[in-house]
Amino acid sequence: MALIRLGFERQHLCLLKRRSSLLLKLTAVVFAVLLFCEFLIYYLVIFRCDWPEVKTPAHDSGQKTLKAMFLADTHLLGEVRGHWLDKLRREWQMERAFQTSLWLLQPEVVFILGDIFDEGKWSSSQAWADDVARFQKIFRHPRHVQLKVVAGNHDIGFHYQMSTYKIKRFEKVFNPERLFSWKGMNFVLVNSVAQEGDGCHICSEAEAELIEISHKLNCSREHFPLFRRSDANCSGEDAAPLEERAIPFKERYDVLSREASQQLLWWLRPRLILSGHTHSACEVLHGAGVPEISVPSFSWRNRNNPSFIMGSMTPTDYALAKCYLPYENTVLATYCVAAGLLVVLILVHSGLLPSPLLFGWNLLRKFKTT
């Protein structure tokens, strides 16, 4: 009787060890995959990004270079749109990407080119406060890093949806200054939603403000792109899909009107324009060769391959480079492979599948004997 009990206890102990070993393996796989997909992948991908070098003439070698990041269309979901899991996932991705970029790249100023929120144009006071709190958590930054934000149509509404209340609410959170100067460079942040040119009260105030500072400007940042017929001439892996590039843009909806675009070019005389809104990358030339760079969306909800622009700038020159973030497909594929590995471990432990190592060893032995 004692021998039977001893044998049973040994068998039970062996079973517990096997289960503990399986649990340990499963935990190790899950932890490793989560660590890679939710933390390490951002460091591995963004680490490859480098600040571009400005070709500064020898006599201007004393100029200080400003390192600026440009991102657009974060579209933080509100209380109406999107599933809570989708909101949680996208905001976690943006937070990790932004915080990792700050740590690795050490920018001096960050510009966000509109559509910070997805539902700002209709959100209630409480919903707005909740959205702002989430934004401030995701895009927190050290005091020595400047954060400059441009209003987009999802933040204050399109032309006939925007109101003084919505604009003031936005400007209460984000500094309303239009002219930002640093290291001998001037930047203007344009509320392009107000560039309708129809004489409305908000539009008139915005135009008067631009005219007042127009003689001091040499660089422009805005949300709506200047007028262009379509994205037909855009290229690159983060440009709009091929089937969408030839679709004509609607003036005052997809892009500014031709008249407003010409007016801004005349007033500001910029040497560079960066804009958001389209969620895709594009580069076009305006007037006498003024480049406009459309910055892709920073949110994985809008793109499989989000990115942002890195700019090295001096008072006389600038250089731009693009930094791509992890592909959504890469993360999903990693999770699928991990899930398959977990299933294999469970089947091997249950005896429903031979151990891959044992199977390979027996196959090698069989090959050698033949």
According to CATH, the superfamily of the domain at 50-55+63-329 is Metallo-dependent phosphatases (3.60.21.10)
Residue 361 has pLDDT above 50, yes or no: no
Average pLDDT (168-182) is: 86
Average pLDDT (287-309) is: 91
List the chain domain ranges.
50-55+63-329
Per-residue pLDDT tens for 271-282?
898 998 888 998
Kindly give, in sequence order, each residue whose CB lies less than 8 Å from that of residue 139, ignoring residues fewer than 6 positions away. 74, 95, 98, 110, 112, 147
Residue 58 has pLDDT above 50, yes or no: no
Residue 141 has pLDDT above 80, yes or no: yes
3 state SS for the chain: CHHHHHHHHHHHHHHHHHHHHHHHHHHHHHHHHHHHHHHHHHHHHHCCCCCCCCCCCHHHCCCCCEEEEEEECCCECCCCCCCHHHHHHHHHHHHHHHHHHHHHHCCCEEEEECCCECCCCCCCHHHHHHHHHHHHHHCCCCCCCEEEEECCHHHHCCCCCCCHHHHHHHHHHCCCCCEEEECCEEEEEECHHHCCCCCCHHHHHHHHHHHHHHHHCCCEEECCCCCCCCCCCCCCCCCCCHHHHCCCCCECCCECCHHHHHHHHHHHCCCCEEECCCCCCEEEEECCCEEEEECCECCCCCCCCCEEEEEEECCCCEEEEEEECCCHHHHHHHHHHHHHHHHHHHHHHHCCCCCHHHHHHHHHHHHHHC
Q: Tokens for 89, please give them.
A: 């996932």
Report the predicted TM-score, pTM, of the whole model to 2 decimal places: 0.83
Q: CA distances (Å), 192 to each of 101, 218, 280, in order?
A: 28, 17, 18
Residue 359 has pLDDT above 70, yes or no: no
Q: Which residue has the higher pLDDT, 209 or 368?
A: 209
Residue 138 has pLDDT above 70, yes or no: yes
C-alpha R_g of the chain? 27
Per-residue pLDDT tens for 197-242?
666 767 777 777 777 777 555 455 556 566 677 777 777 777 777 7
